[in-house]
Amino acid sequence: MASTVVRVEAKTHATLRAWSEAQDKSIGQVVAELVEMQERELIWRRMRADYERLQTDPVAWKEYQDDVALFEGGSMDGLEGEEPYYRPEEEEEIRAHARSQGWPRVGEV
């Protein structure tokens, strides 16, 4: 794997070194993971901004909500008697995590 040098302040390097030692990873691995995390965060930030922009146009927002309503529950068609995939406490844990991330809820964006 090709590599290159990235200049960072001494304090940043010390933090990266401490994190890498605590996780038993190389500094390069830690930096790569941080970059991936930042990329994901940017995707979610852009998505939230897109939702906010969509909401400023009442007609477009209504059309979006109508489109979403068409598919809500569609994946459960014919499965009324099946056991749920997640237990209620697991569903709440998932919802709590989504709220902590600021992710919008369908129909409540």
pTM for the full predicted model? 0.57
Task: Quote the longest CA-to-CA distance of the chain.
Answer: 61
pLDDT above 50: residue 109: no
CB count within 10 Å of CB 30 equals 19
Contact in structure between 109 and 51 (CB atoms under 8 Å): yes
pLDDT tens string 82-101: 777 888 899 889 888 888 88
pLDDT tens string 14-50: 999 999 999 999 999 999 999 999 999 999 999 999 9
For 17-102, strand residue ranges (E) read none
